[in-house]
Structure 1
Amino acid sequence: MPLLKSTFFPTLPFRNSHFNTVYRALFMKEQVSYNRKRILTWDDDFIDLDFSLVGSKTLVVLIHGLEGSSQSKYIIAASNEMNAEGFDTVAFNLRGCSGEDNWLVQTYHSGKTEDVHFVINHLADTYSYDEIVIVGYSLGGNLTLKYMGEYAKTQSSKIKCAIAVSVPIDLASSGKEMGTFKNKIYVDEFLKTLRAKVLLKAKNFPEFNLDKEKLLKAKVFRDFDVLYTAPVFGFSGPEDYWEKASSKPYLASIEKPTILITSQDDPFLPAECYPIKEATASKNFYLEITKYGGHVGFISSFLPQENRWLENRMLNFIKQNL
């Protein structure tokens, strides 16, 4: 049932998927003032949370994508728009993404929902919010969708709804798509920062036994997952990681209103990442596929006042479900 028709239709240059994907990061100016709170985890590590408060009883939790942070332009834009509508926000920096290396050899991965559960419970128990909304982008969107299904029976009753944007819900197929020539420039940029982080881990944790030469030659995400993600997080290999971390199998278990907003022209996503069948069969999982938008883009034009379609769409969904 919940397949939604989209109203997003950008001006001509933004109908190019790559242009829309990179425009926000390269050209849009976004600023926000955060108040950082560090919380200690059950496994002797820390997670940094960046709050932007307006005195609301509703908190919107924002979860960034691969190698993003609270400083990602899409996170700042969402925080500003949510604040303007009277909602508090908190940007959840995944482990190792807050500007300071975390204390364990493990950082984060696409399916590490135990961290999401821990953070949401901390927010629900520590602060006096009546309502919590979760918004996740790309990798953070995969975490959001997986969490909403995997923890459907045990998550806080304060969670009212969730939103996911541009999500690689099937990691095996999206990994192959990212390995194609058209996405080489994106993968190269991701691997630059991932390599630097893992080399630092190898220095701080010599017992990790990293093959540095292979890491430096890594060309695709599979190479990285073979060398770091799978062994460090206890998966038997990259295929085991992709299968267990993908959110797609959990969509049918979602019990609270949850929407996936994604574009048909997303250069990162293959056909397997558009869960039309799952949305059609669900009462709680909604799917909105735009014709254009790129990956976490959804920019309409060069005019700043017209570039909040995504944030306005989120706000509309939140207001419908509070």
Structure 2
Amino acid sequence: MVLMVSEEVRETVDAHRPVVALESTIIAHGLPRPRNLAVARELEETVRREGAVPATIAVLDGRPHVGLDPAQLERIAYEDGIRKLGHRDLPLAVAAGDSGATTVSATALLAARAGVRVFATGGLGGVHRQWTVTQDESADLGLLARTRVTVVCAGVKSILDVAATLQRLETLGVAVAGYGTDRFPGFYLSDSGHPVDWTLDTPEQVAEVMRAQDALGGARSALVVANPVPEAEQLDPDLHARVLADALRACEREGVTGQAVTPFLLAHLVRHTDGASLSANLAAVRGNVRLAGRVAAAWAGP
């Protein structure tokens, strides 16, 4: 697989200066046009304001790219037929010459291949509700168990089984810490209702954990930094609980299963919260990108 690393990203990595990887699924599949391109540009600019270089990741015409130029960013935002690619899809997309936006697992893998250690996203995938029946678990978890990246996220999507996801991360040996909190965030919500064992309060503390990971060796697993959306910008918890319950009933009633469940539930939340869930989503992503820029700067050192 030929990895296309932009000149700016390559030079910055080689000079041991800060770089932040950004996924592209939110651009191609998470937001309507033309807002998606505006948000993509905003997130890259947010990284730069924190003194780091953004490396948005995608596959274009069968070539994985780490760092997109303006025209490539527009392609991901506006081109029809952009696939959604997890890490398992990468060799298929490369061989077929296809273009696709990368999910958490594909972004983390390609970032690590390019030497980019810090990655910002919205929320992780995880263990789905009714796992004992469906055996449905996001590929994010297994990939993070064997990929040395630091993922700044707002926890996992609240439509998932959060307790089971935390247990699975523990089993896989993926380190999890709350940022400025001892509670695990729930993507749209500041608090999923579940605790975390470790709290980190500054970007410098995050960077120290990253250095300790390298010094200790062992399994090359990720560090998950769970950064809650501010309470003032979260989705109203009562509204969230009511609409999610309705969404789960609608999902069962309409026979939605497998990979179709997550987009069905997320779309239901957007429609029935009058867009408030999307606003909370963007607030979480913006906060994660800012923090990732600061972590990358602390990791790069003075």
TM-score range, shorter chain: 0.3 to 0.5
More helix by share: 2
Larger relative contact order, structure 1 or 2 (CA cutoff 8 Å, min sep 6): 1
